[in-house]
Structure 1
């Protein structure tokens, strides 16, 4: 497995905080390479139809060049090192220096030409998942094209006939190559700049790996027992927040290339499902949700109006998918008396700490010795203490007055006085302690516009 320095070579140059380099050969368009694992600023269009560019969570958008009216892109399939979180790196396969690869953005009606250079140790292809195109451009090795041999460059060229959210991934040795992280987003914006326009547009892929603590390579043959549940090959607490300004119209596009479905739940809002991998959902057919299940191999997009300020959790609602590497064979010790066995173990291992007798929350607050290249099962800290999460978890941060081009973390939310849950230190109210007592419901405040139903309908 080659590292990034070997792959880039001694002549690579790093440009600014984005940390990407350009390579070119024999007239091919540049192939930018991203080394940073942080969310990059959106790539604002400078020509052609206007559109609101997407923001790839912990990722970036691939630049293109125009050649006689055709948008040209250059993807390089190669081994990469992906920082999954601070203190943990995975040796994956990806595109242009990262896994997932860069997001490709274009406009409905564009003709695109995509050069794919294969720097993997085996052949590959690219399938343009969900897109309408000529059969010979569909990217299925052996069926629609010969596989791209190691060291060779192939060209895909087709017209973008519909707008929406799509994905790309190999269709050659797919079991290994997708398990190694080869995937990316392809966003086609509507030709009409005002159709389905939003103020902020986020995209991320759901992916999963089985990486033993202390190791770097995923187990590519694993089918069910994963221990790294990721968004764009990142795990909490190092998944960047989704930062929006109050009253923004926000779209979140989520694609699933794992082996199981994921119910994505967002706190503080209800939202409308406005797009699937099959296309836009007509207004009369949209439905309200607070959780949306993303099937395997599918994409869902939802929208809401950011009217409620705060730090709102967003996560997969399968509880084991908000944990990091862990032992799946650990017995349940809740209620067990472990003081005697603890005393015996400490004679051999003085630092031994018993866990599990009262649940596992203690793990989030302890600084336990860990193997190299892994992070705790539960981790992350907020202004009120341990967050006790991992894996597929992040935060939607809604603030007043965020600039339209600002996606930086605004820090902790300053709660207005009287709006944080607190400890009750007095006696219970008499009515609450009396059997059969009736309590009067508080008067209902005037309803606010439902998220996803105001301002843009």
Structure 2
């Protein structure tokens, strides 16, 4: 992690940029360093060495914004700016974000803290920051024209307020919101309980659900899209380039999921059931926590769930809307299932010898196809596991539960080797009789196909 003064020279983002608004009395203190991250790897934050103890969150493919203490106030510096984000290996998006990245860095603090957040605008238009779900003075709420004037390009505003409750919150602009959020301006804000014994966990993961509409061969999202997004991401990353959730057996694990897309997302985790322990409104009392294996995350909402990692293995975690686990989908592609394309293929190969027919038996073959793609795009399915293509993309990752993982270790342990007798296998022996509904009104599959 580097800061901008190291990159651009001392004073480039200095106090001279502080706005002349009423809260500019803090300008004589100077700005805290504007840290940035130029990597898409998951960065692990160490536990605090002073003050209230808490277990920092782990933002998949993200990081936590550093702060400085100034007379008892935690000071942060967010820089709103154009950024380049590697959505996946070989695909770059030209976005707007914070501190060199979209989604922006996670802000972490403790219930009862007073925070002062400097926001410098390096965008070509006004911006603001709304602190989604936090309880604060109306003048700090970040709605341009209502809470305060817009932050003009080149200016810095200061937001300062007390953190009155713990939980998981978000931040995003309330200025030209449709454009700025479609371009990737969003992040998470975690407030830890002031009582370290309240709701403790061993591992605490953070996922922001976001989406883009970027045509193959292009780099900038289409900001007018309402529903037909083609890139579904977690923290602006796409499977197979979303890091796994690495867990030691026996750990108590929390997964916090925020949603700033244009639709809901039912997040499903394999191998476990879990309890929903937190919503936007706060922590759910133990007597009211409810069990799930999938939890729907509404638009503009957050849900957190917890489980104890008792079951070793590699367990899928994904959005259960099937189109959201596919990359770069073309929504106008016709369906060819059941179509015989033999003659068409012969004719096409006279002009294009590498032509491959697709979709006649479903889209699973896309998982292992290697073909030339347009510039700056990725295949619909591009992830490989220990047994072949996983045939997934988009909003998908793996919870990897192992024995012997150290408390601060989040390195990918590789693929799980199933013990003997614990893996499905091909059967080549005699099959038992199977029941069949012989009603002519309900049989849809031809008998010859069933018997074959």
Deviation at 1:434, TM superposition (A): 8.2
Equivalent of residue 330 in structure 1, options 321, 330, 333? 333
1:168–1:210: structure 2 CA closer, same or farther, 3 Å change rule?
Answer: same
Which secondary structure does the structure 2 equivalent of 1:341 belong to?
helix
> Could you say which residue in structure 2 is the equivalent of 1:223?
226
Equivalent of residue 32 in structure 2, options 21, 26, 29? 29
Separation in structure 1 between the aligned mates of residue 225 and residue 184 of structure 2, nearest angstrom: 13
Deviation at 1:433, TM superposition (A): 5.0
Equivalent of residue 192 in structure 1, options 190, 195, 212? 195
Separation in structure 2 between the aligned mates of residue 62 and residue 188 of structure 1, nearest angstrom: 13
**Structure 2 stretches of 5 or more lacking a match?**
16-29, 438-452
Conserved in 2, the CA contact under 8 Å of 1:23 and 1:30?
Answer: no
Deviation at 1:41, TM superposition (A): 1.0
Q: Residues 244-300 of structure 1, C-alpha deviation per residue, up to 9 Å, x if partnerless?
A: 100000000000000000000000000000000100000111100000000000000
Separation in structure 2 between the aligned mates of residue 336 and residue 404 of structure 1, nearest angstrom: 54
> Could you say which residue in structure 2 is the equivalent of 1:129?
132
**Structure 1 stretches of 5 or more lacking a match?**
1-6, 14-20, 437-457
Deviation at 1:220, TM superposition (A): 0.6
Greater CA deviation, 38-47 or 223-232? 38-47
TM-score normalised over the length of structure 2: 0.91
| Residues 1:182 and 2:185 are matched in the alignment | yes
> Could you say which residue in structure 2 is the equivalent of 1:46?
49
Separation in structure 2 between the aligned mates of residue 295 and residue 150 of structure 1, nearest angstrom: 33
Q: Residues 311-345 of structure 1, C-alpha deviation per residue, up to 9 Å, x if partnerless?
A: 00000000000000021111111111111111111
Conserved in 1, the CA contact under 8 Å of 2:212 and 2:221?
Answer: yes
> Could you say which residue in structure 2 is the equivalent of 1:290?
293
Separation in structure 2 between the aligned mates of residue 176 and residue 215 of structure 1, nearest angstrom: 17
Conserved in 2, the CA contact under 8 Å of 1:22 and 1:30?
Answer: no
> Could you say which residue in structure 2 is the equivalent of 1:65?
68
> Could you say which residue in structure 2 is the equivalent of 1:374?
377
| Residues 1:309 and 2:298 are matched in the alignment | no
Deviation at 1:382, TM superposition (A): 0.4
Deviation at 1:435, TM superposition (A): 8.8
Conserved in 2, the CA contact under 8 Å of 1:23 and 1:32?
Answer: no
Q: Residues 420-453 of structure 1, C-alpha deviation per residue, up to 9 Å, x if partnerless?
A: 0000111124xx45899xxxxxxxxxxxxxxxxx
How many residue pairs align between the two structures? Answer: 421
> Could you say which residue in structure 2 is the equivalent of 1:391?
394
Matches within 5 A, 1:42-441: 42-429=45-432, 432=433
Deviation at 1:43, TM superposition (A): 3.8
Conserved in 1, the CA contact under 8 Å of 2:256 and 2:303?
Answer: yes
